[in-house]
Chains A and B, each alone.
Chain A
Amino acid sequence: MRVGILATSFRAGIKIFEVLAALQHGEVYLLNFPAGKKVSFWKRAILFLSALLSAKPWRLPQLLWTGNVILFSEALDHPKTLSRIKELNLDIGLHKSESIYRDPTIRAFKQGILNAHIGLLPQYRGRCVMEWTILQGDRTGVSVFFIDAGIDTGERMVFSREIDVSGFESIEEAKSHLFSHDAECYKTAVQKLQTEDFKFEINDGSGARYYVMSNLFFSVVGDLLKENPIVSPS
């Protein structure tokens, strides 16, 4: 299977790259492109420098040499970027960027783009879903599904997994904990997709779409986190 990690920073993508590269089932590419539509010279320079100065700076020259890291100078949905991605003949894209994906981008990957969403689908779609989940006394977790043009409405869900966050002191820590599972979740998803008898779960869109939360409810969520300590969250 040929997989491309869509990342707006090298630092964000390299962890997923290393976990998937260790699988040794096909090719993995880290597609590093600048965020936003209009990309200035300085934005490109910052992108390159931040990649060079990231956690594993020696990996960048090495992976550039092998061709497994590609630094794009244009935004993701630019025709030049999409044309190059299509040439790579990738099966799956993995979302690790700040982009909203349009149909031409999604179609540049044979099977589509996977998203590790920090909420359990179909119940929790949209923004601040971890916070809304806690506020409503439900179980937190991650769902890995193929993106479509809607907001967390892609029907093909590879799996969802409950992940406890009740040991964390703050919303930011709890959220980071959920996000930190993305590499493992993507690895599991890629493995599942390669099994012969794999069947998708259906994200039927029956859940509500959630929005940005008020400060009032944020404070309630913060209190709920503190009131529910456990010894060692994993």
Chain B
Amino acid sequence: MDNSKFKQQPPDRRIAQALRQRLEELCNTSSDRISPSRFGDQASFAKQVNTILQSGKISPWRENPAINLDSPPRWIDSEENSLTFLRRLALGESPSVKFKDTSPQESAGNFLKTLDENKSKWFDLLIQRYQCPLNLYLDSESDVIEFLLYQLMVPKRVKLDKGHLDTLNHDELLLILNFVAVYAAGSSDLRFIDALNYYYERLPESWRPEGCHSWLWVSFYALYAKALSSRS
């Protein structure tokens, strides 16, 4: 039996087409989903992101000269903190980065143990380690980005699908979605962009995240759009 049909017609074109359609849909509906009026003192950020999305001019990472995602060989340092870095990426800016010769003292394996022992502190622990979220691309961090994907697609997804969104820590969920979006933009692994697809489809349009950093919902849209743009 010939089982090579799919291989003879690589589905890349189909996937790119679907992601392009999703990007168009996202840009066309952003004003409803992330209406500035819903974000209080972050309204101007939401407005800026909406303007970018509605213009349809989403620049993929590869067009940003400051961000070379061809497997950064060393730990990257940033003058910004993690959250500012995400905001600037969302606005299409180029945060300043410099390569360091040293890695963080705590290995990725030990960091995962720290996460396991401090389940209520994930938000703080993640932003401390990934001051520059681009470090998630380092080979040494592969177990961490896998762990974040697992968190999104197993325990948090189960709660989302059961309609128990209110039981999740929204800041933590949105931070992980932002990190996975940053990673998905430069990764060929389709599982990461599909986690974003999944949350885009399931999170209610009228959702109002509760927490100190609800603007991460806005940056998620911008970074998801960048990931779609990079792959389509």
Contact = CB atoms under 8 A, between A and B. Distances in A.
Given A139-B3, A216-B19, A224-B14, 10 more contacts: A137-B10, A137-B12, A164-B1, A166-B5, A208-B191, A211-B157, A214-B201, A216-B197, A217-B190, A224-B9
A223 to B, nearest CB: 6
A227 B8 CA distance: 12
B22 A216 contact: yes
Interface in B12-45: 12, 14-15, 18-19, 22
Contacts of B157: 211-212
A211 B161 CA distance: 14
Contacts of A175: none
B7 interface: yes
B3 A162 contact: yes
Contacts of B5: 164, 166, 228, 230
A210 interface: yes
Contact of B190 (A136, A141, A162): A136
A234 B1 contact: yes
B6 A220 contact: no
Interface residues of A, number: 31
Contacts, number: 87
A174 B74 CA distance: 45
A228 B179 CA distance: 36
B154 interface: yes
A230 B8 CA distance: 13
A102 to B, nearest CB: 18
A162 B3 CA distance: 7
Contact of B6 (A166, A216, A234): A166
B4 A213 contact: no
B224 to A, nearest CB: 12
Interface of B: 1-7, 9-12, 14-15, 18-19, 22, 146, 149-150, 153-154, 157, 189-191, 194-195, 197-198, 200-201
Nearest to B12: A137
Interface in A111-155: 132, 134-141
A138 B7 CA distance: 6
Contacts of B15: 135, 217, 220
A213 B197 CA distance: 9
Contacts of A210: 191
Nearest to B19: A216
A139 B201 contact: no
Interface in A173-224: 208-217, 219-220, 223-224
Contacts of A219: 18
Closest 7 CB pairs of A and B: A214-B197, A211-B153, A164-B3, A166-B5, A228-B5, A214-B198, A162-B3
Nearest to B195: A211
A139 B153 contact: no
